[in-house]
Amino acid sequence: MVEAEVWQLYRDMLRSRLFEEAVTDLWEKGKISGEMHLGTGEEAIIAGVVSQLEEGDAMAVDHRGTPPFIMRGIDPVLILLEFLGHSMGLCNGKGGHMHLFSKEHLAASSGIVGSSGPAATGFALALKYQKQKKIAVAFFGEGAMNQGMMLESMNLASVWNLPVLFVCKDNDWAVSTVTNNVTGGKLIDRAKSFGIEGYEVDGTDVEAVWKVVNEAISKMRNNGGPQFIHAHCVHKEGHFLGDPLLRYYRDPNMLAEVADSLKEYSGESLNEVLLLLRKIGGQLKKKFDPIVFTQKKLKTDADRLIQIEEEVNKEIKQIVNKALDIGGMKND
């Protein structure tokens, strides 16, 4: 991997992050309604995979579809209009943020846990029938590895030697349940039991992700069949936007780190304590932030980092203003 590729991966990650921060702002202002599941914290995993997809490759995504759709080159204005429920959105305002589809890019997302497995396997089967040297990717959380349809998809992909890259984004939590409390064995061993080669990687290190994905995809494009990536990450938010992150403090290690800070707020209102917990949670998670991790690697060229941030910030503001203008909304 050359240095130029790392800079491009960083730009892709930052662009996704700032887009989702803009979405957060609109959601908090009430312009976007309903639940919002962000992909903040997953950017290195998504960038390491999507950057290596070619035209004609397919992509099946879970309920955190924003980063992969943004990085795949799908019009961000259409994506934002979709979130706003506008008829000119990517799916005519009917899909929201979880159910996105772009026929042109062979990209589909769904809020049904585990559904990216059969969707990607179906994509791959179609590509094989068409005799195209293309691949399909399935993005999902580790909780989806306990869904029957995901395991059935892995089995069929193996039996039929289909070019499916199964990418598990593991943050150790299945909504509000500690994954280890409900999942037996090692996930990579499950993949191997189907005859699928697996790789385990630090999902905060985009270079590490890129390298293992590059090896896996190279094999797949040469009739190597399905591959499995087990990437570890930490979500910057809870399961959904506005989640107070209380469950993270059931972890004794986390509790030890925040205990002194919590003492200062004894007797305060519940809302203030929840705000404090979210603030502390953000501080604890900063050390696992893929954006920060990559910035440290590139810090020798601080001017370039600043330039990229300014350029991406400007682009995101233009996207937001254009979407709100089309939607007849004011940018407060």
Q: What is the pLDDT of residue 273?
A: 59
Q: How far apart are the first and last CA of the chain?
A: 43
Q: What is the mean pLDDT of the chain?
A: 88
The answer to pTM > 0.85 is yes
Single-letter code of the amino acid located at 288:
F
Q: What is the pLDDT of residue 241?
A: 77
| Domain definitions of the chain by residue range | 3-236+302-326, 242-288
Of 195, 187, 199, 192, nearest to 162 by C-alpha is: 195
User: HEC profile for 157-221?
Assistant: HHHCCCCEEEEEEECCEECCEEHHHCCCCCHHHHHHHCCCEEEEEECCCHHHHHHHHHHHHHHHC
- What span, in angstroms and rounded, lies between the C-alpha atoms of 14 and 61? 20
For the chain, residues with pLDDT lower than 50 are: 247, 249-250, 252
- What span, in angstroms and rounded, lies between the C-alpha atoms of 219 and 283? 39
Q: What is the pLDDT of residue 250?
A: 46
Homologous superfamily of the 3-236+302-326 domain (CATH): Thiamin diphosphate (ThDP)-binding fold, Pyr/PP domains (3.40.50.970)
Q: What is the pLDDT of residue 242?
A: 74
List all residues 6 or more positions away from 320 whose beta carbon is below 8 Å from its beta carbon: 22, 26, 80, 331
